Amino acid sequence: MSCTIAIALKLPIYLDHHATTPVDERVLEAMLPYFSARFGNAASRSHSFGWEAERAVERARALVAALVGAATPTEIVFTSGATEADNLAVKGVAELHRERGGHIVTTGIEHTAVLDTCRQLERQGFAVTYLPVPPTGVVDAQAVRQAITDRTLLVSVMLANGEVGSIQPIAAIGSLTRERGVLLHCDAAQGLGHVPLGVREAGVDLCSLSAHKIYGPKGVGALYVRRSHPRVVLAPQIHGGGHELGLRSGTLNVPGIVGFGRACELMAEQGREEAARLAALRDGLVETITAALEDVRINGTMQPRLPGNANLSFACVEAEALIMALKDDVALSSGSACSSQSTEPSHVLRALGLDDAAAHSSIRFGLGRFTTEEEADHVAARVIAQVQRLRRMSPLYEMYRRGSGREPTAS
């Protein structure tokens, strides 16, 4: 039975799912009792309130462990998010294993939580290699091999990039780090549930996760820490009551953890299907825009790519001006949420070789679980209209067309 009643779109449409996602109703429902009726402290060992909270946390731990393919739930250490997990992984390895060497290998397109942590370690005397990344946005596993030295402690490469959608060859890198006896950390905050990842098979030793990128609540995440073959030992970065096997002290965020567990369970159930739907919706959006507009460049390779992600540069259009012109229709971002506070071009786009002008004319589209086809169509139509309008007003664009040997556009 088909229903053709047109339902008015609710505007603005949210297309910034790499910055954060809305909490799924089913996640919220699972969390609610743990704010009030079941408010116990999971560390209280002497009464039912504590036991109930602890049971809920352990159920969630098993669900998170299952999604990443951990060998046991004890390999999951809950944190306040992926930023803290990245800090714990990188600093935790560096601090404890310094005598074995002081070298870390990472890439130029990591999240700032990894890059800024590495810069801090450099100030403390560690050496860090930031691998260059080609315009596809995909790191070359052979470049990782060449960068590893006898002094390398850790390689840190993300699963998927939230700006340009590139997916990294983690399993290939994992077999290299295995061979060399170097630990591998993977920030999987983007791509978790959509991009296949089994930490054991991929040879990942440490893996950062975040709930709010997968329709869970903000302020909760986890670090997967391998407990066998090899057993990874870390220096804790937060000291206190000895929670989380001593790796991360602090009273557990029980409602948040319950929500994270439920979000992982939903991803395990529907993540594959959702990825296919989002990729098709995203491809349609890109095709509509590139068919209607000239001088649009797609940043990062389309295959493989994070479903739901597109990143386009519109020649001679200021991304900020375009975003403001579209703000009543669609919520978009010109870079990662962290760098959108500054006017510096995104470090990821720069690492891919974009010049200032191209980086400043780039927009990220982030489709999500609740994005509909009608919404994607509306966004495409509005983007096309606003790019045309801004270009008509731009003397630069006319020069650009002439410079490339073509007539100025009539539109």
Ligand X SMILES: *Cc1c(COP(=O)(O)O)cnc(C)c1O
Closest CA to 85 of 220, 285, 258, 198: 220
Q: Specify burial of residue 334 (Cβ count, 10 A radius: 0-12, 13-18, 19+).
A: buried
In the complex, the smallest distance separating the C-beta of residue 403 from ligand X, rounded to whole angstroms, is 37
The CB-nearest residue to ligand X is: 81
Site string for ligand X, 202-231 (x = CB under 6 A): --------x-xx-------x----------
Distance from C-alpha of 143 to C-alpha of 141, rounded to nearest angstrom = 5
Q: Does 111 bind ligand X (CB under 6 A)?
A: yes
Nearer to ligand X, 213 or 401 (CB): 213
Q: Known catalytic residue: 338?
A: yes
* Helix pair angle (112-123, 82-97), 10° resolution: 30
Residue whose tokens read 């490339």: 404
Q: Does 189 bind ligand X (CB under 6 A)?
A: yes
CB distance 186 to 208 below 8 Å: yes
The number of beta carbons lying within 10 Å of the beta carbon of residue 8 is 6
CB distance 78 to 253 below 8 Å: yes
Nearer to ligand X, 156 or 362 (CB): 156
In the complex, the smallest distance separating the C-beta of residue 78 from ligand X, rounded to whole angstroms, is 12
The number of beta carbons lying within 10 Å of the beta carbon of residue 231 is 9
Site string for ligand X, 75-94 (x = CB under 6 A): ------xxx-----------
Catalytic residue of the set 3, 186, 316, 338 = 338
In the complex, the smallest distance separating the C-beta of residue 191 from ligand X, rounded to whole angstroms, is 8
Q: How far is CA 337 from the centre of its chain?
A: 11
In the complex, the smallest distance separating the C-beta of residue 355 from ligand X, rounded to whole angstroms, is 25
| Options 76, 88, 113, 144; binder of ligand X; rule CB under 6 A | 113
Nearer to ligand X, 129 or 166 (CB): 166
- The binding site for ligand X (CB under 6 A) comprises 81-83, 111, 113, 158, 162, 187, 189-190, 210, 212-213, 221
